[in-house]
Amino acid sequence: MYNRFFERRRTEAGWEPESPQLVLGKQGAELHFVQTKTISAKKIVESKQDPELVTVAVDLNVKFLAVITVRQHGRIQATRFVSDKGLDQHRYRHLKRVAKKQWQSGKAVKGERSNQQLWAHVRRQNLDSAHKTARAIVEVCEQYPGCVLIFERLRKIKRKGGSTSRRLNRKHANQLKGKINQLAKEKAYASGVVSVEVNPHGTSQYCSRCGAKGMRFSLVAGQRITGKGGKLFCCSSCHFECQADFNASVNVHHSFFRGAPRKRQRRVRKPRLSEYLVCT
Ligand SMILES: [Zn+2]
């Protein structure tokens, strides 16, 4: 298809055109216009020694698809929250309908597919938000040339408990995480940013300020409800409180630098909760 997007991509600076390739598929033939670009980037080990290095860490979640934090000289310089804009709820409603229909119609005939339009809709929405989130991550990276993009190695999340639609929704949310991860890496590399994956151990459980184990909680009508799925994080040792995903994102930086010991900072002032809840 020859359109303005195609034209824009073809004229983008730095990309070398190669000879077009004909790809034969089951349904028809496609002409692929291949473009290549040579990327020069430092090795991770080299850039780790650089005291000026900027690291961009991403924590992928369900409600906030990505929490991006930028760190330089041991301090957080910028934070960006990418919300799912109600996608999780929206998808859950669709999946509930699918699950109900399946239950009503009994066991499906093998090889026959049902609710095709609904599935296509869900798939499209997932892919669209994956692209948008990946774009947002790369936009942050582009502001800091030579930075390193850090992801957590994706965890395998066990899908148990809850209704069929709930489990299905979890599955989709996990697939979306993987997609964002993959797309962000590709897009970042095209603009010369190298990405790494770090060990996800305990990023959501430990305090990003002092390293002690903390707990998650939620505020419901002014009451603190402690629980695993809490939106906020509280450190039991230094009483640091912040948004739980933000805490996890800052911890990703620590996982990256774990080789070199981190300076311990003692703060006298107890940080106010509201300071860390400002979305940018
Ligand atoms: Zn602490």
Backbone dihedral angles phi then psi of residue 251, each to the nearest 5 degrees: -65, -30
Q: How far apart are CA 276 and CA 265, in angstroms?
A: 18
Chain-centroid distance, C-alpha 202: 17
**How many angstroms separate the alpha carbon of residue 116 from the centre of ligand 1?**
49
**How many angstroms separate the alpha carbon of residue 275 from the centre of ligand 1?**
16
**How many angstroms separate the alpha carbon of residue 195 from the centre of ligand 1?**
28
**How many angstroms separate the alpha carbon of residue 205 from the centre of ligand 1?**
11
**How many angstroms separate the alpha carbon of residue 249 from the centre of ligand 1?**
15
Q: How far apart are CA 250 and CA 265, in angstroms?
A: 15
Neighbours of 229 (CB within 10 A): 10
Backbone dihedral angles phi then psi of residue 87, each to the nearest 5 degrees: -60, -40
Predicted confidence (pLDDT) per residue in 147-165, tens digit? 899 999 887 666 677 788 8
Cα-based distances in Å from 234 to 79, 146, 205, 217: 19, 33, 10, 7
The secondary structure of residue 77, as a DSSP letter, is E
CA gyration radius, the chain: 22
In this prediction, residue 274 carries a pLDDT of: 59
In this prediction, residue 263 carries a pLDDT of: 46
Q: How far apart are CA 250 and CA 84, in angstroms?
A: 20
Q: How far apart are CA 229 and CA 251, in angstroms?
A: 18
In this prediction, residue 277 carries a pLDDT of: 56
Cα-based distances in Å from 165 to 65, 161, 176, 196: 20, 11, 16, 34
Chain-centroid distance, C-alpha 251: 14
**How many angstroms separate the alpha carbon of residue 228 from the centre of ligand 1?**
18
**How many angstroms separate the alpha carbon of residue 157 from the centre of ligand 1?**
27
Instruction: Judge whether 271 and 242 are in contact, CB under 8 Å.
Output: yes
**How many angstroms separate the alpha carbon of residue 222 from the centre of ligand 1?**
22
User: Which contacts qualify for 264-270: CB closer than 8 Å, 24 or more apart?
Assistant: 264/210, 265/209, 267/209, 267/238, 270/239, 270/240
**Can you give the pLDDT of all 280 residues of the chain as single tens digits?**
677 888 887 787 778 888 888 888 888 888 888 888 777 777 777 778 888 889 999 999 888 899 999 999 988 999 999 988 888 899 999 988 888 887 887 766 666 677 888 889 999 999 999 999 999 999 999 999 888 999 998 876 666 777 888 888 888 999 999 999 999 999 998 888 888 998 888 888 899 888 888 888 888 888 888 877 788 999 988 888 899 999 999 999 988 887 544 444 445 555 555 555 554 4
In this prediction, residue 262 carries a pLDDT of: 44
Which residue is associated with the tokens 């299905």? 168
**How many angstroms separate the alpha carbon of residue 239 from the centre of ligand 1?**
6
**How many angstroms separate the alpha carbon of residue 263 from the centre of ligand 1?**
14
**How many angstroms separate the alpha carbon of residue 199 from the centre of ligand 1?**
20
**How many angstroms separate the alpha carbon of residue 247 from the centre of ligand 1?**
10
**How many angstroms separate the alpha carbon of residue 213 from the centre of ligand 1?**
7
